[in-house]
Amino acid sequence: MLTLSEISKAYGGRVLFADVTMQLNREDRIGLVGPNGAGKSTLFSIILGEEESDSGQVIKERNVVFGYLPQESAPVGDETVLELATAISPEFAKLRRIILAWDSDHHVPADHVEEIHDDAHNRFHELGGYQLDAKAKQILSGLGFREKDFDRKARELSGGWVMRAHLARLLVQEPDLLLLDEPTNHLDLEALLWFQEYLTTYPGAIVVISHDREFLNHIVSGIVEIRQSKLMRYRGNYDEYLVQRAAAEEQLLAAYKNQQKEIERLQLFADRFRAKASKASQAQSKLKQIERMDKIEAPVNDESKIGFSFPQPQRSGQKVITLENIHFAYTNPGGDGSAATVNHIYRGMDFLAERDQRIVLVGPNGAGKSTLLKILAGVLEPQSGTRTLGHNVKAGYYSQYRVEMLQESRSVFEEAMDTPARVTEQSIRTLLGSFLFRGDDIYKKISVLSGGEKSRLALVKLLLHPPNLLLMDEPTTHLDMASIDALVYALTQFQGTLVFISHDVYFIRALSRHVVHVNAGQLTHYPGGYQYYLDKTKATSARAALTSGGKGGGLSNSSPDYSGQKAAPAVKVDRKEQKRLEAQQRQARSGEKKAQQQVVHKLEKEIQELEAKQAELTAELEKPETYEKPGRAQEINRELAHVQERLAAATPEWEAAESKLATIP
């Protein structure tokens, strides 16, 4: 369907691609990954013909249609949401306008309107127009639009909803190749789940850039990594790619080291005997052997990574924050003469977070998770009830909408300097540099920053004035995987209390130690990690459980259900029972941790033994007397190859075991 043949591209002396080749077939499901600035979006632009490569060519089959969803939405005009979703071609959009104008008031500005009307209807029918309307409505509904939204002007929507409408248009169009650049950034969980399932049956090929591991694991069957100006292809999903890459890197490193030792051995022989007449020809032969070698390049990690840690905050009291008898409602003003309505979110809600807890809020969209986090942060004032901060508690709020936390007219440096903390200009420059704001980047206006850059700057602001109660709403949005890994590591070392919302299952698994399910004003506590919550709710999907009803096994601490039915009486949390359950969880985790430590220790011991054996065998190969014994060198090389093969397999096993151990508290 599509072939990239020997594509090269460079900017200002920096090479993005060097003679790369890739074949895409109709059934392919590819995740495109690589560090920031590696050239992922540029590769899309080259495929689409929006940008020319320096050399090479893009070869596509005749009549193949490409569809592209960028990270940022395109401008919209006076078209409705449904018109935007069905605008699969200029001809189709024009025909649809003619038919709608006729059906509404017969005001078609042309002679022979009858003929035009008949011709338009016939052509519209040929293009499948009436079926497309139904298809578009189905897709729009799946992406979260309500029926009453279909006739809204697209320009009235927020940027995120415009992106959803553009995504709907692509899915209605069904191009042969779907190019998606961070498509999940603007989707809530329910829309993401629908979209994820929809793509599993998509009839064309898909290439997607995404930082969402769960999403990639669900939809892709191959990974293409941009690394060191090359395209490396792996089979399987993202998790399988990580294992394969680790093994490949270990093999490459082992091969490089082995070759370097061989070069050193040959060079040593040549240097030792080149002055002797009887050995001079042999010495020269060794040098030519070195020259003829296909040199293995030393493995280089070219990824620019965030490296940071949260400054350890002042120790708080045991009770960090308490909400008591909270009532909160949003008032929706009536329009067009209709009366205002009141949407009650919480009635009589209680909440307690204690020192060192790691709490994740889960539940259906619109249940009140972000509202609860804003009440905890003091951003929203409840209509009644009390919010009490504990001893020495300082709260820090990381909003889902980073722009709310930043002044777009400022530069990066000016925004960072606006802090109550007593910091020097040099320390701010250093901190900005660790978050990849280097050189003139610090003078960029916030208004021109990407979503990822705004997220990183918001993190800088938190670090300059570190809290001991950290409240985070979708902190991984717009961050690449390396940045997410850095954030996870920093938060695991954070010695404060964390309450967060996320739809990133990897992030939740790594950090949560207590799950609170929010639904219809009711809070249900699960005093354990995310797997404990999944087990108790009997969830079949780790991601779907984030939007579930959360029934079963939890400790309820709730306001009444106000959905129209009589609510069950609120059940107060029994602190002794909660402590008992938490103790059981700690005991279970302790047993799991010891077992995993044994696995890690066993693999470490094996790797040490293998490395020692490898050094021993390599040393033997370097001895001249080894080659005096017939067949001895071949025997050692076979044994060395076996040792290196096992070492290449054992190392990623140890890394995976270490990673698993790190997730066990």
- What are the phi and psi torsion angles at 17 (to 5°)? -130, 140
pLDDT, residue 608, reads 79
- Of 177, 492, 499, 88, which Cα lies nearest the Cα of 322? 499
pLDDT, residue 565, reads 33
Listed in order, strand segments (DSSP E) in 127-191 are 177-181
What is the token pair recorded at 580? 């008992």
What is the token pair recorded at 155? 């320009």
- What does the alpha-carbon distance between residue 266 and residue 285 come to, in Å, rounded to a whole number? 9
- What does the alpha-carbon distance between residue 3 and residue 58 come to, in Å, rounded to a whole number? 6
pLDDT, residue 305, reads 63
pLDDT, residue 126, reads 66
The stretches in the chain having pLDDT less than 50 are 106, 108, 111-113, 115, 558-573
pLDDT, residue 559, reads 41
- Indicate the pTM of the whole model: 0.66
Is 393 in contact with 468 (CB distance < 8 Å)?
Answer: yes
Antiparallel, parallel or unpaired: β 469-473 and 497-501 = parallel
Continuous segment of H or E residues that includes residue 483: helix 481-493
What is the token pair recorded at 444? 């960029």
Question: N- to C-terminal Cα distance for the chain?
Answer: 49
